[in-house]
Structures are given as C-alpha cells and as structure tokens.
Amino acid sequence: MLLRIYRMLLKCFGRQDWWPAKTRFEVMVGAILTQNTNWKNVEKAIANLRKAGALTPEKMSKLTRGTLRGYIRPSGFYRQKAERLAGFLDFLKGYGYDLSKLFSGDPGCLRIKLLQLKGIGPETADSIMLYAGNKPFFVVDAYTKRIFARLGLIADSDEYEEVRKFFQDNLPRKTGLYNEYHALIVELAKKHCRKEPVCGGCPLAKQCKFEKKYN
C-alpha cells in the first residue's frame, strides 16, 4: 500500500528532488532553522549566511553569537536557534568539522548522538541523517501524520517512532525512495491535505477514509 501511494503521488506531482540545498552542511543548518517556521523564512536566513560566506562549519563557528543571530533572524526564534546551531557546531568540532568522518560510522549511533544535542528532535535528526548523510531514516513530520491518519493507516495518537517504524518496516530501505516520498508528502499536504482539506483533485481521494467522511 505504501509503495502504491508513493507511485500515485509521483505520477501526480513528479519528482521533487529534495533537499533544496547546495551542500551537506547547508542541509544541516536548514534542518535546524526550519523548526517552527516555513521554508521561505529559512531561505532568507540561508541567503544571509551565504552572502556572508558563513555556510561552512569552520566559518560559522567563528561568528559571534550576536552576528549569527542577525543572519538567521528571518527564520524566527533566532536567539534559540543560534544557541542550537552553536551546540551543533561544537558537536561537529569533535569530528574536526569533517562531515565525511561524521557519517562514516554506525548510523544508528550517530542518530542517538544527534538526539542528545539540545534542540535536536527526531524529525531534525532524521532530516540530517537522510538528506545530509544519505542514510535510510524516514522523516516523519506533521504532514505525514495528518495524511496517513486520514488515510486510516496510522492513528492520530501514534508517536514519532511508531510512525517511522511503520514506514521503514513496509518500504525498501532506500535513501532515494525515502527522500522523494517525504517531499511528495509535503507537496500533497500543501496542495490538498491541509488542515481544512481540499479533496477535489487529490490523487489519494479514493483511498482516503477522511475524504469519504468529510464529504
């Protein structure tokens, strides 16, 4: 069923080719900045950092906290996010800022280490693992829970790890598939499966228990 849904979304929306970033470090920064905001605001913050030449861990670590806050201000909660980025940079320093070295070990252990960092939750950690590390960890966000609860495949009350396990147990462990699937879920949520759903034209309408009840 999950692969069938994936193929239907792919046929409808086409490839999304996520994550929208130029480097692995930019992916990581974006994963932290996108917390509690939309991507357009993150893009503004990323653009500020790029213009300042600060989109490498070495360069960003040399910024004063105040300067970093100024650059990332468009992303919202900029004081909190500056602290989280600083903590993340300290973590990367332990690997000599070498991202190849960071991702060379056991991915499960690395995920645990990321989750121990202040402000890094499961969604952010899995975004880093999947999009920056090219490791098969399915990213679950609010869109994922909303859509698949409405389809009747998960429960609204299911926790993050339950939903992630559901996807990983029922899909091939392929990073490309996980990457594209998550992007397609976001596209579906934006166009159709909103808080107030727009069911007309939704590629999953015939499979959706919520659509039948709602309409």
Range with the poorest average pLDDT among 14-18, 41-45, 111-115: 14-18
The CATH class of 1-16+139-207 is mainly alpha
| Structure confidence by residue, pLDDT tens digits, 39-85 | 999 999 999 999 999 999 999 999 999 999 999 999 999 999 999 99
Q: Which amino acid is at 4?
A: R
**Domain 1-16+139-207 identical in fold to domain 24-132:** no
CA distance 167 to 172: 9
Confidence of residue 207 (pLDDT cuts 50, 70, 90): confident
CA distance 11 to 13: 6
Of all residues in the chain, the percent with pLDDT exceeding 90 is: 93
Confidence of residue 34 (pLDDT cuts 50, 70, 90): very high
User: What is the reported pLDDT for 144?
Assistant: 97
Q: 24-132 falls under which CATH superfamily?
A: Hypothetical protein; domain 2 (1.10.340.30)
Tell me: pLDDT of 211 over 70: no
Q: What is the 3-state secondary structure (H, E, C) of 121-188?
A: CHHHHHHHHHHHCCCCCCCCCHHHHHHHHHCCCCCCCCCHHHHHHHHHHHCCCCHHHHHHHHHHHHHH
Confidence of residue 213 (pLDDT cuts 50, 70, 90): low
Tell me: pLDDT of 161 over 70: yes
Structure tokens at 14: 């086409």
Q: Where are the domains of the chain?
A: 1-16+139-207, 24-132
- Residue 20, CB half-sphere, CA atoms under 13 Å: how many? 11
Mean of pLDDT values over 19-25: 91
CA distance 36 to 173: 29
Tell me: pLDDT of 3 over 80: yes
